[in-house]
């Protein structure tokens, strides 16, 4: 599993961002360390960041999330100070949205590349009319993350069996596909040998990979929108049925 070091000039801000992200987790949460504040006040400390990275030495990789530019500088210095050797990236994505998107993706078993891309593309859900996120910087660290287009999640691979299942369902919960339902779909979509996609037939957006919270939010699906679920492979029918049941039940919000 991928872990996180949350770097902020303010410890209360970092703790609040992590708390918000954890509200979206259904099941086991990825390990998170907070390295925030300096000398009991505001600021960042490269030594503390390096120590937080080293606490996660036994996991598959670490994504560092930062709030301001100087937090990035401290994180870059921490990479020189750390003693551990696991892969580490510094995300260029937004602090709060990136933390939520990245932590949700990590909880479903995403790789460091996938988690970093999800965090980097986290502003996609806030862009009107499908605009691309603006003003982002590429992740820093041991290696660049892959392009975050499509909200950072890979499209499903073609099925060698040719099995394709599609089903149209209507959003019934009053608020539509907001953050909590999107995170529920991500969790449900992670248990299959295929990655289902979701297309909003009402507004024409999609397809979005069902294992990407940001891609799902970017659909802008609200009450009474019709969603097309699609999956390929031997698990296609079961995966589509599972997602359809969640949507038709209103995610427990009706």
**Of residues 67, 89, 88, the one with CA closest to residue 7:** 67
Q: How far apart are CA 47 and CA 115, in angstroms?
A: 25
Tell me which of 252 and 202 has the higher pLDDT: 202
What does the block give as tokens for 213? 């919270």
Q: What angle do CA 105, 114, 45 make, to 5 degrees?
A: 80
Q: Are strands 226-232 and 205-209 parallel, antiparallel or unpaired?
A: unpaired
Measure Cα distances from 54 to 59, 104, 236 in Å: 10, 22, 40
- 110-157 per-position pLDDT tens digit: 999 999 999 999 887 776 644 444 444 455 666 544 443 344 444 444
Cβ-Cβ contacts under 8 Å for 56 (sequence gap 6 or more): 3, 5, 31, 33, 62, 84, 86
Mean pLDDT of the chain: 87
Predicted pLDDT of residue 129: 44
Confidence of residue 236 (pLDDT cuts 50, 70, 90): very high
Q: How far apart are CA 200 and CA 189, in angstroms?
A: 17
Q: Which domains does the chain have, with CATH numbers?
A: 2-141 (3.40.50.510), 164-252 (3.30.1340.10)
* Residues belonging to the active site: 178
Question: CB–CB of 140/92 below 8 Å?
Answer: yes
Global pTM reads 0.73
Q: pLDDT over 90 for what percent of the chain?
A: 68
Q: Is the pLDDT of residue 9 over 60?
A: yes
Q: Are strands 2-8 and 32-36 parallel, antiparallel or unpaired?
A: parallel
What does the block give as tokens for 186? 């991500």
Element (H, E) at 229: strand 226-232
Question: CB–CB of 15/175 below 8 Å?
Answer: no
Cβ-Cβ contacts under 8 Å for 76 (sequence gap 6 or more): 90, 140
- 78-119 per-position pLDDT tens digit: 999 999 999 999 999 999 999 999 999 999 999 999 999 999
Q: What angle do CA 150, 156, 162 make, to 5 degrees?
A: 145
Question: CB–CB of 62/51 below 8 Å?
Answer: no
Element (H, E) at 88: strand 88-90
- 187-234 per-position pLDDT tens digit: 899 878 899 999 999 999 999 999 998 899 989 999 999 999 999 988
Q: Supply the angle between the helices 95-107 and 179-189 in degrees, to the nearest 10.
A: 30
């Amino acid at each position: 599993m991928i872990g996180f070091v949350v770097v902020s000039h303010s410890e209360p801000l970092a703790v609040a961002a992590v708390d918000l992200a954890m509200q979206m987790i259904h099941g086991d949460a990825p390990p998170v360390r907070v390295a925030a504040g300096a000398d009991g006040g505001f600021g960042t400390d490269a030594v503390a960041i390096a120590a937080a990275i080293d606490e996660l030495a036994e996991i598959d990789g670490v994504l560092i999330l930062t709030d301001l530019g100087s937090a990035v500088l401290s994180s870059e210095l921490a990479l020189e100070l750390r003693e551990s050797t696991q892969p580490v990236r510094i995300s260029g994505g937004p602090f709060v949205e990136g933390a939520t998107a990245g932590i949700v993706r990590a909880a479903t078993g995403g790789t460091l590349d996938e988690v970093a891309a999800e965090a980097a593309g986290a502003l996609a859900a806030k862009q009107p009319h499908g605009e691309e996120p603006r003003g982002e910087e590429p992740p820093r660290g041991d290696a660049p993350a892959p392009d975050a287009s499509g909200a950072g999640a890979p499209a499903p691979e073609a099925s060698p069996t040719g099995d394709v299942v599609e089903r149209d369902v209507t959003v019934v919960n009053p608020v539509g596909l907001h953050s909590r339902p999107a995170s529920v779909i991500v969790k449900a979509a992670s248990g299959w040998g295929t990655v289902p996609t979701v297309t909003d037939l009402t507004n024409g957006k999609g397809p979005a990979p069902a294992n990407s919270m940001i891609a799902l939010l970017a659909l802008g699906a609200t009450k009474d929108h019709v969603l097309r679920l699609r999956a390929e492979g031997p698990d296609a029918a079961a995966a589509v049925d599972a997602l359809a049941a969640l949507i038709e039940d209103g995610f427990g919000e009706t």
